Chain A
């Protein structure tokens, strides 16, 4: 059976250039970047080259990049730094669209006496800048607004909110994990203070991510016990993964324009044909500013979980929302925040394209999707939809 991977917002296959950059560090090369000898020097060089490439992709300077093991770690670090730095519990503004690594870190601060304002998106999947700005207060210690939502793919008005934050002297964190490598991301254009990025969302390896911290902005060392990452994050560097991260960033910078065209081409091919093949299928947020690669659809009277499993058995990997660690499916918090009912949320499907997909896969996917939906409509009484 030919498998097609259409879940690139979960993770992506490795770019051949990233793989080539990693291979020496999984073979003949090895070394601790902190060692003085030439083994260490070579490893240090690989890490710093990677740092420059990642910085270049973001329009940043290399010393502003703190390498981490995941986007989650980077997001957590900013929230917990904010708490540690504050003399007393203050106020946070986050959105209901944020990734759990921000939502749940904010919830933990709330347990410790912080006030958290959670700004909701509209039905279009976009958080209104005015609502976000209106939530800022004199005692607001941090605002967090993601650049692109992982589930519906909508782009958020980060630059506008960041400008308002800057005028008020409030630091702002931008989770750009889902945007980098798909659309241009420039830290100065965005005007934020912290930005997070993860390699594996744009054809880099798992286990490599970065926190960009604007020069002059603080970040408390949250792992201690070594001088790595300019004392901001101790721990021996994952040289192979970072080498892959750097090269994935370089490849993204080289290919960015054609990526947008290519990904949007796949998505549009899918979305143009979908209503004819699956009558009644809805496209979520199709008129909002959004990523070129993400289609979020809802199919009436179909339980997304059952459809996902059928599609997987037939060889197509998609998602019903964000991947859930227990392996079971819960209604997406993003969709609920957008005002969808539990039933609508449970009948949703996320199709996210990547650079390794081909137009023929889209066509085959449409065939199989139409077949499996028809089969589900046949075997499933309407009343049972939404019974989790």
Chain B
């Protein structure tokens, strides 16, 4: 018997995924939910790791006629996703926790746990497609470009893709909601969960609360100490908020008077400095990255592709130059046209057409 485990968050997409697979072969499908974060005391609907949503997942599983189990993974989630998220802010980066969650939790860990339960495949509600290619499974963008989530999956391996199923990759969100309505699923009218799922208020407040609660987990940082705002020449312009409250490309909230609008260009935690400048200075000719990952065999030499430097970036043509360093996986990427908002901590994902080639993590601008 080949069993498929559906990762059920209690949201619309994973619920419809479970429903569709159960309709094909109810005996061969089980629902799994991950208890990732303790939201006790917080109204946690609409967050992929919330307790109320686990209740919705259970109800959808009953509607679909499949068994459902909740696996406790909060310790791993904290170690692999939440702690690095906080550490990134403290290092002046703007993290992308959903990529980490997909890489470390939904595919690495969940796939392993599913195998223990006798399920060789994991299905999720991601909007992306897995297509057979000449060199094995390939990751492609969803048919519904507005919903495409392939960006968040760039760190998957071919082995993981071979064990994954994305039934929604060929559908539009409208179709998915229509299926839920026709099936009478309790989640049919549920909205999107857009924010970072474990943060219930503001990100800055969350970071500060985590550090205050668990000072042992993070390198020493003077919470709430004002930073120095400087221009690209190093000239001091004034006192700013604590550096970890800024993000590269940010315009509002700088509190500086200037002839033309000022933007955050770089965050330098070691100097406790935030470099600001005018809009043209945001433009970068390329990026330097680390932890380069290719889905499938690594290509030789330089590679021409399109890159997205954040999830909603339209993409730009690039030349990718791996620096041949297998440990750090360092890489430089030259843009065909200068780009603004090259943000350390975000993922740069490489595409050729609809296919995801791989990606890297942004360290800085070239």
Contacts and interface: CB of A to CB of B under 8 A. Distances in A.
Contact of B118 (A1, A310, A329, A388): A310
A328 B75 CA distance: 14
B72 A329 contact: yes
Interface string B100-133: 0000000000000101111000000000000000
Contacts of B318: none
Main DSSP-derived SS at the B contact region? mixed
B70 A326 contact: yes
Contact of A379 (B3, B71, B72, B115): B115
Interface string B309-338: 000000000000000000000000000000
B67 interface: yes
Contact of A380 (B67, B70, B116): B116
Given A1-B27, A313-B3, A313-B30, A379 B116 contact: yes
Interface string A311-336: 01100000000000011110000000
A126 to B, nearest CB: 31
Interface in A223-267: none
A388 B115 contact: no
A329 B72 CA distance: 8
Interface residues of B, number: 18
A328 B70 contact: yes
A388 B118 CA distance: 18
B116 A328 contact: no
Interface residues of A, number: 18
Contacts of A288: none
B117 A310 contact: yes
B35 A306 contact: no
B69 interface: yes
A328 B72 contact: yes
A188 interface: no
A303 B27 contact: no
Contact of A328 (B27, B71, B113, B117): B71
Contacts of B71: 305, 328
B118 A375 contact: yes
Contacts, number: 38
Given A309-B117, A310-B117, A380-B116, A388 B69 contact: no
Interface in A355-388: 372, 375-376, 379-380, 388
Given A309-B117, A310-B118, A380-B116, A327 B27 contact: no
A303 B116 contact: yes
A319 B361 CA distance: 44
B147 to A, nearest CB: 30
A262 B67 CA distance: 31
A329 B35 CA distance: 11
B144 to A, nearest CB: 33
A380 B54 CA distance: 27
A10 to B, nearest CB: 16
A197 B118 CA distance: 39
A376 B117 CA distance: 8
A293 B188 CA distance: 44
Contacts of B69: 309, 312, 327
Which secondary structure dominates where chain A touches chain B?
A: helix
B72 A376 contact: no
Nearest to A314: B118
A376 B119 CA distance: 12
Contacts of B35: 326, 328
Contacts of A313: 3, 30, 67, 117-118
A388 B70 CA distance: 12
A123 to B, nearest CB: 28
A376 B116 contact: yes
B300 to A, nearest CB: 35
Nearest to A388: B72
Contacts of A303: 116
A137 B347 CA distance: 66
B29 to A, nearest CB: 10
B262 to A, nearest CB: 49
B329 to A, nearest CB: 27
B88 to A, nearest CB: 25
Contacts of A329: 72
B116 A388 contact: no
Given A326-B35, A328-B35, A388-B72, A312 B116 contact: no
A312 B67 contact: yes
Nearest to B55: A327
- Which of B35, B54, B72 gathers the greatest number of chain A CB atoms within 10 Å? B72
Contacts of B116: 303, 306, 376, 379-380
Contacts of B51: 326
A306 to B, nearest CB: 4
A303 B72 CA distance: 13
A310 B116 CA distance: 9
Given A313-B3, A388-B75, A327 B70 contact: yes
A255 to B, nearest CB: 33
B109 to A, nearest CB: 10
Interface in A67-92: none
A376 B113 CA distance: 11
Nearest to B71: A328
Interface string A329-353: 1000000000000000000000000
A305 B32 CA distance: 13
Contacts of A380: 116
A379 B51 CA distance: 30
Contacts of A312: 67, 69
A188 to B, nearest CB: 45
A306 B72 contact: no
A323 to B, nearest CB: 13
B119 to A, nearest CB: 9
A313 B54 CA distance: 20
A381 to B, nearest CB: 10
Nearest to B28: A313
A327 B116 CA distance: 18
Contacts of A306: 113, 116-117
Interface string A185-229: 000000000000000000000000000000000000000000000
Given A306-B113, A388-B72, 13 more contacts: A1-B27, A309-B69, A312-B67, A312-B69, A313-B3, A313-B30, A326-B70, A327-B54, A328-B70, A329-B72, A376-B116, A380-B116, A388-B75
11 contacts: A303-B116, A306-B113, A306-B117, A312-B69, A313-B117, A326-B35, A326-B51, A327-B54, A329-B72, A380-B116, A388-B72
Interface of B: 3, 27, 30, 35, 51, 54, 58, 67, 69-72, 75, 113, 115-118
Those 10 A-B pairs whose CB atoms lie nearest each other, nearest first: A328-B72, A327-B70, A306-B116, A309-B117, A328-B70, A309-B69, A379-B115, A310-B118, A380-B116, A328-B35
